[in-house]
Chains A and B, each alone.
Chain A
Amino acid sequence: DAGVIQSPRHEVTEMGQEVTLRCKPISGHDYLFWYRQTMMRGLELLIYFNNNVPIDDSGMPEDRFSAKMPNASFSTLKIQPSEPRDSAVYFCASTPGQSLVSNQPQHFGDGTRLSIL
């Protein structure tokens, strides 16, 4: 059973370039999350979707960041133009959503390590 799949695993690019991170959630999961992890700020929620619709994007740091979910099996996080301070590990996670019994865990991908030079 495939987990959350993120690509690329590593990305190194120069300041000012456009960066696109990709995520394939677990099939059947209704919710998708994008997080950013840094030593200084820990794990920050950037945006999350329910049934492909953005629900909360209050964590998106600037207009340079945008996220889309064109269908249930694919999402992108785009940074344009990129800056050195965007260097971080970006995680995608998915969850099926709450059952009537209990919260469901979030399943994380292995992340994209982004370095902006």
Chain B
Amino acid sequence: QQQVKQSPQSLIVQKGGISIINCAYENTAFDYFPWYQQFPGKGPALLIAIRPDVSEKKEGRFTISFNKSAKQFSLHIMDSQPGDSATYFCAASTSNFGNEKLTFGTGTRLTIIP
């Protein structure tokens, strides 16, 4: 029940296209859903996050869509650029005070080709 399932494992998108990565969870206690971006040789870094009181959050070219009833959320990268090539992890957590544990998806390796 603690798992977060992420797909696809890898994704190739042409420059200027839309990249879409999907995640699904089972634990209905999760109420915080961040996405992390990781470049080769670096640690993951927070990209964008959402709470289930909204269905969508947008920051620049990055958008999270959230479907509470389906227990699914996705990351959309508009106008994808070669610099977006990285591994993306979805994650989930609860907001219970003192619980800082994140459950991560298995990651998606995104490659943007010219």
Binding site for B on A (CB under 8 A): 4, 31, 33, 42-43, 45, 48, 50, 56, 91, 93, 95, 97-98, 103-111
Given known contacts A48-B100, A50-B98, A105 and B105 CB-to-CB distance under 8 angstroms: no
Residue of A42, A98, A106 touching B106 (CB-CB under 8 A): A42
A-B CB proximity, top 3 nearest? A108-B43, A105-B46, A42-B106
Which residue of B has the minimal Cβ distance to A92? Answer: B43
A and B contact pairs by CB, cutoff 8 A, 26 listed: A4-B43, A31-B100, A33-B100, A42-B89, A42-B104, A42-B106, A42-B107, A43-B44, A43-B89, A43-B104, A43-B107, A45-B101, A45-B104, A50-B100, A56-B101, A91-B43, A97-B100, A98-B95, A98-B97, A98-B98, A103-B93, A104-B100, A105-B46, A106-B46, A106-B100, A111-B42
Contact A106–B104 (Cβ < 8 Å): no
Interface size on B, residues (CB 8 A): 21
Check A93–B104 contact: CB distance below 8 A: no
> C-beta contact mask, B37-68 vs A, less than 8 Å → 1, else 0?
00001111110010000000000000000000
Q: Is the interface of B mostly helix, strand, loop or mixed?
A: loop
